[in-house]
Amino acid sequence: MFCLNADISSTAFIEPLPVVEFVSQLLNRDVTARMLPDADRVKIKRALRGVKVEVTHCGNMRRKYRISGLTSQATRELIFPVDDSGTMKSVVEYFRETYGFVIQYTTLPCLQVGNTQRPNYLPMEVCKIVEGQRYSKRLNEKHITTLLKVTCQRPQDREHYFHDN
């Protein structure tokens, strides 16, 4: 007698997309045209907290960060201290002067990365989701249905798979 237990597990992964595209898919609309309501901001924050992103504005230097939050202000309104003397600079100015990068979607919030006491702000348009990350949050009904359709197999189909391979 021969016995084999061939359990197969499946998990969802976050698609490695530019963050602006991911957010547009999450909210099912174009997010670049106007300010986001608070409810959308909360939804985005929940979906992205803990996700790793890489920056795309520095050429080949693709630094990676873990998202800790989302700013409550739009990118165009966001200022931060650049030195210990209290000199303030806007995120828009900083990216233009430091990297020669002109931010297009200034109505979107920035991603907060790093620690919460002294966060770094990254505009969504300079970030891409790093490939190979499991999606650990609760899936919605549509995603659950899709996952089940892709992964469910009848016992006899599974048996044939193992016999044929």
For range 110-139, the mean pLDDT: 88
Q: Is residue 103 predicted with pLDDT exceeding 80? A: yes
Map tokens 């089940």 to a residue: 148
For range 150-159, the mean pLDDT: 68
Q: At what angle do helices 19-27 and 38-48 cross, to 10 degrees?
A: 120
Of the two residues 35 and 105, the one the predictor is more confident about is 105
Give me the amino acid identity at 105. Answer: Y
Of the two residues 53 and 151, the one the predictor is more confident about is 53
Do residues 149 and 117 touch, judged by C-beta distance below 8 A? no
- Exposed, middle or buried by CB within 10 Å (0-12, 13-18, 19+), for 137? middle
Give the separation between CA 9 and CA 84, rounded to whole angstroms. Answer: 52
* pLDDT in the model for residue 162: 62
Share the mean pLDDT of the chain: 86
Q: Is residue 5 predicted with pLDDT exceeding 60? A: no
* pLDDT in the model for residue 11: 75
Q: Is residue 144 predicted with pLDDT exceeding 70? A: no
Integer CA distances (angstroms), 32 to 11, 14, 29, 57, in order:
31, 21, 9, 18
